[in-house]
Amino acid sequence: MGHPLAVDWLGRVPYADALALQERAVAQRSKGLGPDRLLLLEHPPVVTFGRSGRPEHLRSSPEALAARGIEIHHVARGGDVTWHGPGQLVGYLVLDLRARGETDVHLLLRRIEGALAQALVALGLRPATLPGMTGVFLEGAQPPRKIASIGVGLRGWITWHGFALNLTVDLAGFADIVPCGLHGVEMTSVARELRRPAEPALFRQGREAVSVAFLRSFG
């Protein structure tokens, strides 16, 4: 592609801190400083609403969530409501689209889906996309099973926010929301689909597969 991409593993980062990290990365990139970046991390349990988020898609009250230590954030990304937690690989993609000559945002979403699909194939799964839905699902699953969610924001032509891939996450966390506002869709994980224990080794394997796929697609 001719454009460098720096991939950084940041560990477990509180959501507000990750927002601040993104803000700094976007500001730096908008000044033409440094490479494009993919920030990989986990979050403590948190619920986030994108620009099209609807309050009725929150199944638990804010008070009940707060009592369990779960924050709610309203952020400037695409998409509806989602949940993040340990065992879910979150990727924040900071790209200068204008410098890349790639200002088609719909194409960007398809490329992110494609990179995630590459990673899932490397892990032994059969991913798919569904017409009219953003994200990555499992091929042939009925009802549809979603394994990765995508919600991107733009500041000028710099991207931020990104994707969440369920690797070893406890799927019970999604019970607090209607994931991405999609009724009739189940959330799943790599551990569940491979019938493997939700162990750190599997998370590391998934993280490495994602790094390779995004370097291949965007690096």
Query: Cα separation of 15 and 72, whole Å?
Result: 10
Residue 51, domain CATH: 3.30.930.10
How many structural domains is the chain composed of? 1
* pLDDT tens figures, 109-158: 999 999 999 999 999 999 999 998 899 999 999 999 999 999 999 998 99
Q: Which domain holds residue 207?
A: 5-218
Helix (H) or strand (E) segment spanning residue 200: helix 200-218
Question: Active-site residue numbers?
Answer: 180
* pLDDT tens figures, 82-116: 899 999 999 999 999 999 998 899 999 999 999 99
- Asked whether 206 and 89 are in contact (CB, 8 A), the reply is yes
- Asked whether 85 and 201 are in contact (CB, 8 A), the reply is no
